[in-house]
């Protein structure tokens, strides 16, 4: 019996070590992405790290690689770092999120601030490439989030045993539809409370980063707004414990400056039988 327990514990330990290694590699990739933007420019860095089917919003969802290939290089320095990251149990899908700013050059002060959320998918050669990226704009942030520990790890290019992600996460679409059934401020706050926890983050232009259930509840308690989500796509990890959904969001019933059409993305993590919304980002559609 003791030998059996030891074998089981060893197996669990090896799985945990592999998951930790995958997360470190994901974080290292995000730091390398940001460093590349400073070295070769934002457009070329995005081209270097985006997956072939990666999505950007210009203004709606488009194939990012096709868009960037014909886009001109623009001056300025976009800087960012990961403050929070999560990876699926199988290591094939993960996300990073954190603050960002823009400067005219490396020696000037920031003239724009925001937050980002980037979804990464492990490629067959072992590398992570991002499959979708969306962020928001806000005033100078009040919260100073520390960066994750920078792990300078070698990103091994060994063939990764990837079963492939599912391109139609129906379970997550159903949850997004539940959000859309919220027709009053109280029910909207209630549904966010159901799916949020202390790590949940909401990224909105009219607010500093909302972190954790308490801040999220206060935000919705002070606003009489309605959300209508229309999911357009997403992916689910092969271990079915992490996924994302993106689509169109209509905000109404609030202040005129906040009402309108948005792109949105939800990053979900499953614990046991329950799904938790860890990142909710909305970006107004610019016409």
CATH fold for domain 2-138: Nuclear Transport Factor 2; Chain: A, (3.10.450)
Nearest to 121 by CA among 131, 111, 113, 112: 131
Predicted structure pTM score:
0.88
pLDDT at 179: 84
- The second-level CATH assignment, the architecture, of 170-284 is Roll (3.10)
pLDDT digits (tens, 9 = 90+) for 107-140: 899 999 999 999 999 998 999 999 999 999 999 9
Distance, in Å, from the CA atom of 222 to the CA atom of 270, rounded to the nearest integer, reads 29
pLDDT digits (tens, 9 = 90+) for 50-73: 999 999 999 999 999 999 999 999
> CA geometry: angle at 268 spanning 19 and 80, to 5°?
75
CATH 3.10.450.50, the chain: domain bounds:
2-138, 170-284
């Amino acid at each position: 019996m003791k030998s059996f327990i030891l074998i089981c514990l060893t197996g669990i330990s090896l799985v945990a070590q592999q998951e930790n290694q995958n997360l470190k590699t994901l974080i290292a990739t995000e730091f390398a992405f940001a460093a590349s933007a400073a070295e070769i420019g934002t457009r070329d860095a995005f081209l270097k790290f985006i997956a072939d089917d990666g999505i950007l919003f210009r203004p709606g969802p488009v194939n990012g690689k096709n868009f960037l290939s014909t886009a001109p290089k623009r001056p300025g320095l976009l800087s960012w770092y990961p403050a929070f990251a999560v990876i699926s149990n199988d290591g094939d899908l993960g996300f990073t999120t954190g603050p960002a700013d823009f400067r005219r050059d490396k020696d000037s002060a920031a003239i724009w601030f925001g937050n980002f959320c980037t979804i990464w998918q492990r490629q067959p050669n072992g590398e992570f490439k991002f499959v979708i990226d969306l962020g928001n704009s806000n005033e100078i942030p009040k919260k100073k989030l520390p960066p994750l520990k920078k792990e300078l790890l070698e990103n091994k290019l060994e063939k990764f045993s990837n079963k492939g992600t599912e391109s139609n996460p129906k379970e997550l679409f159903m949850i997004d539809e539940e959000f859309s059934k919220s027709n009053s401020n109280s029910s909207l706050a209630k549904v966010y409370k159901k799916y949020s926890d202390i790590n949940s983050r909401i990224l909105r232009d009219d607010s500093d980063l909302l972190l954790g259930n308490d801040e999220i509840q206060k935000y919705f308690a002070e606003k009489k707004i309605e959300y209508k989500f229309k999911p357009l796509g997403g992916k689910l990890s092969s271990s079915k414990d992490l996924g994302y959904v993106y689509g169109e969001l209509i905000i109404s019933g609030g202040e005129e400056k906040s009402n309108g059409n948005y792109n949105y993305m939800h990053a979900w993590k499953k614990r046991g039988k329950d799904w938790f919304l860890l990142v909710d980002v909305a970006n107004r559609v610019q016409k």
